[in-house]
Amino acid sequence: MRRPLIAGNWKLNKTIKESRQLSMQLIDELSNITDRDIVIAPVFTALSTVSEIIGSSPIQLAAQNCYPTTSGAFTGEVSPLFLQDAGCRFVIIGHSERRQLLHETNAFINQKLIAVIHAELTPILCIGETLQQREEGQMLETLTRQIEEGLAGLTADQMATVVIAYEPIWAIGTGKTASSEQAQEAHAFIRELLQELFNPTVAGQTRILYGGSVKPENIDNLMAQKDIDGALVGGASLKAEDFIRIVKFL
């Protein structure tokens, strides 16, 4: 069975001091949880501080982005090697905010994904359609392109380490969650696609998270869906109480 994974994407929020406080609150409440993965993704500058705080607790660290080349003359960039050095186990790749604001392409996201795998970290590949694409009937085509191009060149063994996050863009930070049925439909489609591109074992093992206005009020219904294996949580991950409740989904 697929082990559930709840990840908090803190985006560009929380100073080092605030990150320390929030991580300590999470450890207090979550340190005896063993049946699911718990991941938090602070800003780069808070990573090593948070890494020290979470230590050997069940909470694991993620970065929100990376650059695909290990080291060298790449001013302002951070590679998977340095993220690993800071204590990360996961890296979020291709978040829709980066696709939209920084014009990241599927090809560039694919390079990052491969670099993350080579550094033996777990990539969380984000995909999702805009409202316009959904309304114009382009949703499945968009997801297919993001998956095919984002995962290009991966072997089935490499794919076994990848986590996918389906985040419909119209649901991110808007308070409008996809209904559990809409999310399940997209997740089932993604799993079918993985079966075609790789094999049934990989498709059956890959964890597919849902993201977009996940809250304490909707997490239980989302997690009850057969193909939803976890959540990527933005806004609600900034409040200890909300994130703790989401991690403790029923």
Catalytic amino acids? 95, 167
Expressed in angstroms, the distance from the first to the final Cα of the chain is: 17
Q: Which residues pair with 95 in a beta bridge?
A: none
The size of the chain, in residues, is 250
- Using CB under 6 A as the binding rule, the residues of this chain from 8 to 27 that contact ligand PGA are 9
Minimum distance from CB of 8 to ligand PGA (Å)? 9
CA 70, CA 78: separation in Å to the nearest integer? Answer: 8
* Coil, strand or helix at 1: coil
Of 9 and 133, CB closest to ligand PGA: 9
Minimum distance from CB of 182 to ligand PGA (Å)? 15
4 binds ligand PGA (CB under 6 A): no
- Using CB under 6 A as the binding rule, the residues of this chain from 137 to 176 that contact ligand PGA are 167, 172-173
In the block, tokens 């219904």 appear at 221
65 binds ligand PGA (CB under 6 A): no
Of 97 and 227, CB closest to ligand PGA: 97
Give residues with Cβ within 8 angstroms of 201, minimum separation 6. Answer: 156
Of 198 and 234, CB closest to ligand PGA: 234
- Contact letters (x/-) for ligand PGA, 191-230, by CB under 6 A? --------------------xxxx----------------
CA 186, CA 219: separation in Å to the nearest integer? Answer: 17
Minimum distance from CB of 176 to ligand PGA (Å)? 9
For the CA atoms of 89, 41, 116, 109, what is the dihedral angle to 10 degrees? 160
Of 39 and 46, CB closest to ligand PGA: 39
91 binds ligand PGA (CB under 6 A): no
Rg (CA), the chain: 17
Give residues with Cβ within 8 angstroms of 210, minimum separation 6. Answer: 165, 166, 167, 178, 183, 187, 222, 228, 230, 231, 232
* Coil, strand or helix at 41: strand
Minimum distance from CB of 55 to ligand PGA (Å)? 25
85's tokens: 């050095």
46 binds ligand PGA (CB under 6 A): no
Minimum distance from CB of 214 to ligand PGA (Å)? 5
Instruction: Enumerate binding residues for ligand PGA (CB under 6 A).
Output: 9, 167, 172-173, 211-214, 232-236
